Amino acid sequence: MPFDRVTLETPERARLLGLTERERQVLLLRAEAYPVAAIADRLAVEPRTVKFHLRNIYAKLGASESSQVGRQRVLRNYARLLTERAASNGVASNGVASVDNVAGMENVAGVAIVAEHPRVASLLFRPDRKLTDVLRHNRFTLSAEVMPPRNGGEQSAVLSQVEQLIAAGAHFLAVTKGAGGSLRGGSLPIAQVIKEQFGVPCIAHFTCRDLLPEEVENQLMDHHYFGIRNILALRGDPPDGQPDWEPRPGGYRYAHQLIDQIRRLNQGHYLVRPNFPPTPPGPSGLQPEAQSPTDFCIGCAVYPEHPDPHQRLDFFKQKLDAGAQFAITQMVFDPDAYGRFLDACERSGLDVPILPGTRILRSRVSARRTAEKYAVSVPKHTMRSLRSLPDPDANHRALDLFLALVNRLRHLGAPGIHVFVTDAAIACQALSHLAPTASKA
């Protein structure tokens, strides 16, 4: 039974009858100390709307005249009553009633699940926490990016790696998507396990290089049903040896086209089914179907060292205009290149979190190969300081250089560091060194 039809036993609980569904959502999130901006982002409303709801909530709960501490205490007390009521009625995800489960308890079509269907509710996958919320709640995030095993390989190895990275201090993880011809499937199930079983947010890479819009929509629904909410929307690189790649007829040539499709799904605009005109038809013919919206947090890739300084910003702006909400850079080893890119973005009004992505360089040989393959720069002093792998001091020197790079990126304004994992052991060492001070700017 929905909360507004429950007969509550005490006058205090009876006050809950006066809260609207949106007010309950705001109450539960605010009780967990979410700032107004984070609540607005999560509920897809303006911050002033959240403030309006909070004023109503305080008035209805008799806390208008209380201090901020007093109001927060009242909110937490009522949040506890709501979650207790939800738990007693069976509204839970995997048997656990929580603020996230009650505030965001939706079925796969976006319709609220109430206690009349406890069996259905218990079968749904928990929606992931959005990366924009994670970035707002941490001054400096630590994250890592893992690859699925090659087809036929055991997934236990990558999940063991995931466990180690989380234990070392990673706030969230990302799972790459094998480019066409790479023969690395499994990105979605690994991302789902990270989110569901390890309990940390996860970004699923999504590439559109080989897909038609219909296939994109179908695969995105798989992600949404599994509770995946963070998508890094990429075109995807052509397989090696195919420099003249062309998209399939009707497919996407650019990542911003994929981002736009995800944004439209978030607005509830789906592709038109063949031979099934929508009601009512639009003036220019068939219009996208209106269905329950998805709730994806959309990320994109950016290239601070793209050879054309105008295109590096223009391409980024196209992605933001299409709907991207955060960005992760191509590999960065030169902090000044990242700093110059942040300055250029600020001058152009491009204002979303931009996480610098990098990897730990362990030798001069690997540094040269990486710089050539990805067309990025490695500072001369870094090259001079690196050792050859047989050198017993190689890993220690690589770790020192990486920590110095992170420290410089932090001072330039990076919201966190995103580590592309090539060696789990040294990546865990690095995260362990950074974790004690990660939340301190």
Structural domain spans, the chain? 3-123, 131-437
> At the topology level of CATH, where does 131-437 sit?
TIM Barrel (3.20.20)
Nearest to 379 by CA among 325, 435, 332, 317: 332
| pLDDT confidence of residue 438 | 78
| pLDDT confidence of residue 441 | 43
Looking at residue 125, its amino acid is F
| pLDDT confidence of residue 88 | 55
DSSP 289-318: EE-----PEEEEEE-TT-SSHHHHHHHHHH
Say what the alpha-carbon torsion angle 423, 424, 429, 431 is, to the nearest 10 degrees. Answer: 110
| pLDDT confidence of residue 155 | 85
| pLDDT confidence of residue 368 | 94
Give the N- to C-terminal CA distance of the chain in Å, as an integer: 46
| pLDDT confidence of residue 89 | 52
Q: Confirm whether pTM is higher than 0.95.
A: no
| pLDDT confidence of residue 413 | 95
CATH class of the domain defined by 3-123: mainly alpha
pLDDT in tens, 114-153: 344 556 656 678 899 999 999 998 989 999 999 998 888 8
Residues in the chain with pLDDT values less than 70: 1-18, 65, 82-123, 179-181, 239-241, 243, 275-290, 439-441
